Amino acid sequence: MGFLSKLFNQQQKDGPASGLPVNWKQTLRTCNFFMARRGVAYVFRLANQQAEADGKQCIWKKEIADGWKQFSLNPCYETAVRFVTVSPHILPYFESTFQQSQYPPIWTATTFSFEYYRLPTETTDIKELRELSPQEYAFFPRQFKGEVIYHALPINFMGRQWKFMVSSVQGRIYKWAASLEVGRDEDFDSIGNEVIEYCVRWLGATTEEKLGYLFWDTSDGNVILQLTNMDDWFDISIFVTSREIRGLDKL
């Protein structure tokens, strides 16, 4: 019996949680719930696509649909317990080793790139840098001795122009940031999900997630994806920091 068949045609002889390992709740306590939600959403999407291809329609068991709805709206330990209890075969998507196997990292922080644009390591490798003005430094203050922050030319990514900034000490870049403004009349969820999927595809499973933030710790630094609801627009920003920052002198 295939995974989808097991998921939606479960035989529950000993109650709704039958078939679960003894320590399954401990597995949930160490889970990355956001990654689990992403993986399970893919399973549901795949099931719907398979049904449509066969000219059919997926009908979900009420307890599974209700459990998924509660978990997807509020991914946490309590909603995960309720969801896995009624759908035991979904448990692997809550296991960290499974999540890592589904999303293995290909890039690290310093090799992260926007399609064909990869970050140089020296400011001399970037054309047309403009240092921040005193007024801009008030919003983006220096953190390290000798630090200089620049605006760079915008970069093209996903068919859009992203603002681009780099921070350097003695000409060596240790951090960069790219940001995109999305209008209120645009599909922010779709655009945001595309960026998330891009980062997960190349950086692997997230190290941590919380509302509006996704974090990746890598061997040579970290990457942070921030999604913010502003007053008049939505903002999507990516921050990449080299591990070399540890050797810099703070102000």
Could you give the count of Cα atoms lying within 13 Å of 153 in the half-sphere of its Cβ? 7
Question: Can you give the pLDDT at residue 120?
Answer: 65
Residue 148 is predicted with a pLDDT of 96
Q: Burial level of 151, CB count in 10 A (0-12/13-18/19+)?
A: middle
What length is written for the chain?
A: 251
**Which secondary-structure segment (H or E) carries 198?**
helix 188-203
94 near 84, Cβ under 8 Å?
yes
Look at residue 115 in the predicted model and tell me its pLDDT: 63
- What pLDDT tens digit does each residue of the chain (251 aa) get? 344 444 545 444 434 445 788 889 998 998 888 888 888 888 888 888 888 888 888 888 899 999 999 999 998 999 999 999 999 988 988 887 777 777 788 888 878 887 666 666 888 888 889 999 999 999 999 999 999 999 999 988 888 999 999 999 999 999 999 999 998 888 888 888 889 988 988 898 888 888 889 999 988 889 999 999 887 889 999 999 988 888 899 99
Q: What is the pTM of this model?
A: 0.73
- Beta strands 213-218 and 208-210 are antiparallel
Q: Which residue has the tokens 């140089």?
A: 120
